[in-house]
Structure 1
Amino acid sequence: MTIEPSQEYIGQAPLCNDELQRLNAYWRAANYLSVGQIYLLDNPLLHEPLKPEHVKPRLLGHWGTTPGLNFLYVHLNRIIRQRDLDMIYIAGPGHGGPALVANVWLEGSYSEYYPDVSFDAKGMKRLFRQFSFPGGVPSHVAPETPGSIHEGGELGYALSHAYGAVFDNPDLIAACVIGDGEAETGPLATAWHSNKFLNPVRDGAVLPILHLNGYKIANPTVLARIPHDELEYLMRGYGYRPYFVEGHEADEMHQRMAAALEACCDEIRAIQDRARQGGSQKRPVWPMIVLRSPKGWTGPAEVDGHKTEGSWRSHQVPFSAVRDNPQHLKLLESWMKSYRPEELFTPEGVLIDELRELAPVGQRRMGDNPNANGGLLLQALHMPDFREYAVDVPEPGAVVAEAPKPMSRFLRDVMRFNEREANFRVFGPDETASNRLGGLFEETDRAWMAELLEEDEHLSRDGRVMEILSEHTCQGWLEGYLLTGRHGFFSCYEAFIHIIDSMFNQHAKWLKVTNDEIPWRRPIASLNYFLTSHVWRQDHNGFSHQDPGFIDHVVNKKADVIRVYLPPDANTLLSVTDHCLRSRNYINVIVAGKQPAFQWLDMDAAVKHCSSGIGIWEWASSDSEDGEPDVVMACAGDVPTLETLAAVDILRNQLPDLKVRVVNVVDLMTLQPREEHPHGLPDRHFDDIFTTDRPIIFAYHGYPWLIHRLTYRRTNHRNLHVRGYKEEGTTTTPFDMVVMNDLDRYHLVADVVDRVPKLRQRAAYVKQYVRDRLIEHKQYIHEHGEDMPEIRDWRWNW
């Protein structure tokens, strides 16, 4: 692939003097509104001299990146109008929130979403007052901002979100502004490679705009301080053709940016035409822009004798103590008046007509683009009947199967049934086949636009399985895909999903805010995680791959957003998957192993069990319907279920008179009270299942204390004893993993003996049986390197 040399500046000057002056005036208006949001409570048009009481008591926000974001918004408006483009704006430096709010207000979208922030002086005053103010709006490009699908509070994800937005969205261009601080993050560095997955036939385009203003909050940035050639080679090495727009003087910068955008849009159209009309299969070199402008551009050049414009000092609020410092108050007034607001707004605070004409209209406005409110575009998936993929289970434990395989055939047909709509993709870090989801490849391949070799398998330009060995990029793609109105599924090794903990946080917060506070944001498809290769079957990889803690992290979030499922076999996994794919505005976490395992429930029983989320397994229990059990054996997760049933088997042989109730939990959130989670069981129902006074031995997939946390308000919590993962692991046998963490059948039996009072006379004999088996286990695996036959060959025979 050959990449032509870039042009430092585009030679032509496409703007006539009138258009140049109007663009500059619109930019001044956006900058004026941005400063007003940071500083002012009142006197929005400066119709009277600025007084201390007109200024906010607490000055919050970020000015440094804002004028550059405003500059780009003005020029993107121009190219949208010129070419009737379908475009969204993704602000990587989302802390420049004043810019996006200012521009969405100037184009009229903001007042349509928030009529109380009217398009006049009264609305301008409210716009200023609400910014970063109690009862107002956040300082970032948050869900409250029309046109936003990316808050940008945590840096690194703008570019992956942009690519996710344009997959299967052939008419959309995502203009993605990447701050030079963000460009230093690992997730952003990997996201540059997304162009190797972008098919110009069926996908839209991303226009990355690397905004270099030199500084982070207190330090210079790496890409702003390397030589020009080195930066160009870096971008070319990523597979882009960079256009550089650099400078300080406004008129020259407007001409350069207008020319650069025209050139980039010409290239994008040519790339798409070659692929769509000409049939080109060659991976294209997509254009990008490097904008180098001063930090705090157009702000005060100097404050208190220190350089401010073009310095880190302009990153947040260039100067404070305005109420108490007359010199700063005068400086603020002078700064705001430098934008000449009387030339931009009527005395009533309305943007003058000749500037209003510069904004696109209707849904071409970036603040009103339906792709940025994806629920408007969301279509329900065409779903096959998941029951048709059931594993035949004539009786519990009679069949061994790999649970994800039937699910992969179900997902295959979800892909097939929605081929025309092209609104479903599966994401994962190089593990689709490893995680037993290879059935997908009967319908589609992995997406791949880079070089193809004859020996490659399941790679194609049209693949709909997205694999890159970066959990960050997979998550970012999926979020962008969902937020623009499509559906997706993310599979990952359980231990390594932690890599995206903070990305999960941000998406959960986004959903929480949209659920609670923003009725105009329509529900989107849920973000579905499938975590397999889990802690209990990482015996071959060892301790580094053993961590079930993502569930704990998820449960910290608001109950109306998160759901956690632990299906014990293939049929329950099918039922849960169908439910999750149909849901909206949730984050669903499904945890299930991929190794061969016993199947417990036929499909009818699985559907009933999953519908309740929790239930007594009568076929495994020995207590009568009209009596109380001596002990409740509860389990959540496939391996804990196996060990619980094996323990029950031992108890029946060793203690045949013991009344045991077996309870399986699929929906973890049923354990919480109904007041704390919508899926929580009412107290009466919980007590009916777990009793109010009998011992409960709970075998749990993850860290034990989470079960205590979920149930601490329940009547019988004092009798609850939980076994789970306690941070013990290594490369060993599958059964030894559970033994190391005291989750095995023998420890569960010992727990029963210790906690059922009537067993005290038999305790010594049963405990000796347990000790002997555990000693034999250790001796056997050290000699043979595999589990004992009585473990490997165990079957449920009741």
Structure 2
Amino acid sequence: MTQTVTPAGRPTGEEELQVLDAYWRAANYLSVGQIYLRANPLLHEPLRPEHVKPRLLGHWGTSPGLNFCYAHLNRVITARDQDMIYIMGPGHGGPAAVANAWLEGTYSEIYPHVSQDTAGMARLFRQFSYPGGIPSHVAPETPGSIHEGGELGYALTHAYGAAFDNPDLVVACIVGDGEAETGPLAASWHSNKFLDPVSDGAVLPILHLNGYKIASATVLARIPEHELISLLEGYGHRPYLVGGDDPAKMHRAMAAALDAAFDDIEGIQAAARTGGTTTDRPRWPMIVLRTPKGWTGPREVDGVPVEGTWRSHQVPLPGVRDDPAHLEQLAGWLRSYRPEELFDPGGRPVAELRALAPQGDRRMSANPHANGGVLLRELILPDFRDFGIEVERPGTTSTSPTRALGAYLREVVRANPHNFRIMGPDETASNRLDAVFEVTDRVLRARLLDTDEHLAPAGRVMEVLSEHLCEGWLEGYLLTGRHGLFNSYEAFVHIVDSMFNQHAKWLKVTRHLPWRRPIASLNYLLSSHVWRQDHNGFTHQDPGFLDVVMNKKPEIVRVYLPPDANTLLSVGDHCLRSRDYINVVVAGKQPALNWLPMPEAVLHCTRGIGIWEWASTDGGADPDVVLACAGDVPTLETLAAADLLRQYFPELRVRVINVVDLMRLQPDTEHPHGLTDPEFDALFTTDRPVIFAFHGYPYLIHRLAYRRNNHANLHVRGYQEEGTTTTPFDMVMLNNLDRFHLVMDVIDRVPGLGGRVAHVRQRMADSRVAHRAYTREHGEDSPEIRDWVWPHH
């Protein structure tokens, strides 16, 4: 049933509607100008081919609808003194976002050379999608944006992330009907089940149905209206419908719909915040806006329909420089907005338009929430050392590293009840972080049962079986000035590879924009990792996210592989304190040997890489072989191999090196954390064999070290895409990462070990066979493996 729209007692006057229409026309004019013009911005002279850009790049089809929404949201902000930011989901809505930032004056404040006059307008037009200029989408360079428009699917989850713990903020989120076809967006509608009307802000989705994506119709624009309404109501929304192509009627309807929607929001929040019930989930409003694609643009081009079709998606008039008819049509299109009514002779927006725009921080293009570092407050962090594990002798006691981290995170949550959240796809307890549930709950605003545990309408832990939502919520949360952690099974964090890519690109660009203040780092904790998927098997075994991360700019990414609980605590604290990075931490959840006392763990993590002298037999001299390791299981196997080498070749000089910070392996010219060549050579030598046991795919280590002097002697063992449901030790044997194979690698690469090598090598190979047979018969690893500890040498 179609929702009736009422203006809620605040009818919008005709004069105000006329100003709204003028503002909309001005934004449309500026949008068209950005796509086409590099000179003659106000058509003070007849339009000629040389006034047009040689390469026409941009997207017109979605821009008029975005401008329509922006103008009307400005009216709401001014009328209600509303704190509001926007998110433009339609990927290439850059012309609209930039146009409105310039109209509001923000653009000229941030970029003074793009002034609010004719010369500034010319620069505004010329820079768009132009070499040395700005991108065609809503990019970091765009004031007021927190959402990269280069990829579809994440607008709504970013919007909710921005609203969490922002009680006075409304996030207006324009969802394109093409974007609405993506899986992440389809799941994002469920975000309203996680919104607390007491402590959170509100999200106003505006589903913009213009009927087409790049070259085909969109699903939601073509299904029956009753089916669309049923879908949106089923998601828990109260939809208000606005549709048509007559500007006068559309302005009136949109103003009424927005007034009704904001009345709903105010009513929901007032009821919840003045002692009313907070357990029942409210039905939050949303707008369904139907407009023609390319609205107000050319109706036909060369006798073919354009407005209201997919042909208006990008550049409706492609042959402007070469076809006089197209050039004349472009001039008529631009003049149809009557720019002489919108801009004074000097090119400045007329006073009526400037009056419609909100002032100061109320401008969506200048709202501090869209530049989250401005609002960022330091976390109150406990001393991580207080949660450390006592280690009298290395490798003799065991602890679950993530369980130790969970105790630390519990106190982080306790001390920061309004600006720190943990996101994860139903794996917080599975990843042994369940200590946090001593001070908080999982949030869910849906039906709760007596059998539920740690599930409540409010909480600091957000779990939903969509990695996309977890990532998007956290990104929106960070971008608006808060802190958080995303924990996931290692194999399935690949689901958000593209989201990671976009956030990394965002950070890379913002680092070079002085007006963008640093935000809290995006922190990934990857547990349930490749080497300990004992019961899930091959489908859950993939360490390849590290390879994706390492492709990004070195000033942005960090990868940490702490070998035990104390090093994980040190790394975790460091990551929560950092800014403008993406930190990836891989740590096991199963009990693992404790190697370093806390003071040594802190020192080791500070170095990022180091010789473990207590495990080495080189006596401070040049070694015969270097055993290097990165990751908890590779460290265990390396230390066990070092123990075997002591037994069979006591005269062999072995140096054991552990790597916590993977970036240390790169040259210092490639990464800020990289070792200089002399530092690397001092550790790994220039001519001795190096056997490197690595958590992930072996070639990644070669990638990082291929320029080093001793790369020819580097032999890496890691994951070889061999896996199944099996025991932990059988898993490392399947990939030749086990201690026996590492000893065989040493034998094969170190000359001069004498006549014993054949016997020892055979014994190592036989041990592999014997231990595999034991697992097949008993269904578990042998006590020799399972109970191994570092001996007291």
- TM-score band, normalised by the shorter chain? over 0.9
Deviation at 1:321, TM superposition (A): 1.8
- 1:123 alignment counterpart: 120
- Whole-angstrom distance in 2 between the partners of 1:357 and 1:580: 45
Q: Secondary structure at the match of 2:231?
A: helix
Unpaired runs of at least 5, structure 2: none
- 1:453 alignment counterpart: 449
Deviation at 1:284, TM superposition (A): 0.4
Poorly superposed stretches of 4+, deviation over 6 Å:
none
- Pick one of 27, 32, 45 that aligns with 2:24: 27
Deviation at 1:15, TM superposition (A): 2.1
Deviation at 1:56, TM superposition (A): 0.2
- 1:180 alignment counterpart: 177
- Pick one of 749, 755, 774 that aligns with 2:749: 755
- 1:606 alignment counterpart: 601
- Whole-angstrom distance in 1 between the partners of 2:286 and 2:120: 36
- Whole-angstrom distance in 2 between the partners of 1:302 and 1:436: 62
- 2:504 alignment counterpart: 508
- Whole-angstrom distance in 2 between the partners of 1:41 and 1:499: 41
8 Å contact kept, 1:52–1:322: yes
What amino acid is the match of 2:294?
G
- 1:271 alignment counterpart: 268
- 1:301 alignment counterpart: 299
- Whole-angstrom distance in 1 between the partners of 2:362 and 2:783: 68
Deviation at 1:279, TM superposition (A): 2.8
8 Å contact kept, 1:622–1:659: yes
Deviation at 1:9, TM superposition (A): 4.5
Q: Secondary structure at the match of 1:29?
A: helix
- Whole-angstrom distance in 2 between the partners of 1:11 and 1:571: 60
- Whether 1:787 and 2:785 are equivalent positions in the alignment is no
- 1:499 alignment counterpart: 495
- Whole-angstrom distance in 1 between the partners of 2:129 and 2:644: 62
What amino acid is the match of 1:735?
F
TM-score, reference length from structure 1: 0.98
Deviation at 1:462, TM superposition (A): 2.0
- 2:330 alignment counterpart: 332
What amino acid is the match of 2:212?
Y
- 1:525 alignment counterpart: 520
8 Å contact kept, 2:425–2:488: yes
8 Å contact kept, 1:8–1:245: no
Q: Secondary structure at the match of 1:219?
A: coil
Q: Secondary structure at the match of 2:356?
A: coil
- Pick one of 36, 41, 45 that aligns with 1:39: 36
Deviation at 1:789, TM superposition (A): 2.0
The equivalences for 1:206-225 within 5 A come to 206-225=203-222
Q: Identical aligned pairs, as a percentage?
A: 70
- 1:373 alignment counterpart: 371
8 Å contact kept, 1:548–1:701: yes
8 Å contact kept, 2:7–2:255: no
- Whether 1:470 and 2:466 are equivalent positions in the alignment is yes
- Whether 1:698 and 2:692 are equivalent positions in the alignment is yes
Deviation at 1:141, TM superposition (A): 0.3
The equivalences for 1:578-593 within 5 A come to 578-593=573-588
Deviations 1:230-273 (A, max 9, x none): 00000000000000001110000000000000000000000001
- 1:689 alignment counterpart: 683
- 1:405 alignment counterpart: 403
Unpaired runs of at least 5, structure 1: none
- 1:594 alignment counterpart: 589
The equivalences for 1:660-671 within 5 A come to 660-671=654-665
Q: Secondary structure at the match of 2:458?
A: coil
8 Å contact kept, 2:519–2:580: yes
8 Å contact kept, 1:41–1:56: yes
- 1:642 alignment counterpart: 636
Deviation at 1:10, TM superposition (A): 3.9
What amino acid is the match of 1:48?
E
- Pick one of 111, 115, 131 that aligns with 1:114: 111
- Pick one of 53, 56, 61 that aligns with 1:56: 53
- Whole-angstrom distance in 2 between the partners of 1:328 and 1:753: 76
- Whole-angstrom distance in 1 between the partners of 2:577 and 2:559: 15
Deviation at 1:539, TM superposition (A): 2.2
- Whole-angstrom distance in 2 between the partners of 1:660 and 1:125: 68
Deviations 1:599-655 (A, max 9, x none): 000000000000000000000000111x21110000000000000001011111111
8 Å contact kept, 1:687–1:716: yes
- Pick one of 668, 672, 680 that aligns with 1:674: 668
- Whole-angstrom distance in 2 between the partners of 1:760 and 1:482: 60
- Whole-angstrom distance in 2 between the partners of 1:45 and 1:304: 26
- 1:535 alignment counterpart: 530
Q: Secondary structure at the match of 2:519?
A: coil
- Whole-angstrom distance in 2 between the partners of 1:793 and 1:408: 25
Q: Secondary structure at the match of 1:116?
A: coil
Deviation at 1:94, TM superposition (A): 3.2
What amino acid is the match of 2:193?
K
8 Å contact kept, 1:493–1:532: yes
- 1:383 alignment counterpart: 381
- Whether 1:171 and 2:168 are equivalent positions in the alignment is yes
Deviation at 1:598, TM superposition (A): 0.6
What amino acid is the match of 1:307?
P
What amino acid is the match of 1:227?
P
- Whole-angstrom distance in 1 between the partners of 2:11 and 2:98: 28
- Whole-angstrom distance in 2 between the partners of 1:141 and 1:8: 33
Deviations 1:268-296 (A, max 9, x none): 00000110003312110000000000000
8 Å contact kept, 1:6–1:241: no
Deviation at 1:785, TM superposition (A): 1.0
Q: Secondary structure at the match of 1:757?
A: coil
What amino acid is the match of 1:187?
P
- Whole-angstrom distance in 1 between the partners of 2:556 and 2:754: 46
- Whether 1:740 and 2:737 are equivalent positions in the alignment is no
- 1:139 alignment counterpart: 136
TM-score, reference length from structure 2: 0.99
What amino acid is the match of 2:285?
P
8 Å contact kept, 1:644–1:699: yes
Deviation at 1:461, TM superposition (A): 1.7
Deviations 1:522-547 (A, max 9, x none): 00000000000000001210100000
Deviation at 1:435, TM superposition (A): 0.3
- Whole-angstrom distance in 2 between the partners of 1:639 and 1:361: 57
Deviation at 1:552, TM superposition (A): 0.5
- Whether 1:432 and 2:428 are equivalent positions in the alignment is yes
Deviation at 1:11, TM superposition (A): 7.0
Q: Secondary structure at the match of 1:357?
A: helix
- Whole-angstrom distance in 2 between the partners of 1:732 and 1:354: 72
Deviation at 1:23, TM superposition (A): 0.7
8 Å contact kept, 1:753–1:760: no
What amino acid is the match of 2:71?
V
Deviation at 1:760, TM superposition (A): 5.3
- Whole-angstrom distance in 2 between the partners of 1:402 and 1:789: 19
8 Å contact kept, 1:747–1:770: yes
- Pick one of 714, 723, 727 that aligns with 1:729: 723
Deviation at 1:672, TM superposition (A): 0.2
Q: Secondary structure at the match of 1:759?
A: coil
What amino acid is the match of 1:617?
W
| Larger displacement relative to structure 2 (751-760 or 726-735) | 751-760
| Larger displacement relative to structure 2 (453-462 or 156-165) | 453-462
What amino acid is the match of 2:501?
N
- 2:13 alignment counterpart: 16
- 2:255 alignment counterpart: 258
Deviations 1:483-535 (A, max 9, x none): 000000010000000000000000000000011x2110000000000000000
Deviations 1:291-346 (A, max 9, x none): 00000000000001110000000000002121110000000000000000001111
Deviation at 1:794, TM superposition (A): 1.3
- 2:283 alignment counterpart: 285
- Whole-angstrom distance in 2 between the partners of 1:329 and 1:40: 11
8 Å contact kept, 2:67–2:100: yes
Q: Secondary structure at the match of 2:752?
A: helix
What amino acid is the match of 2:88?
A
What amino acid is the match of 2:329?
L
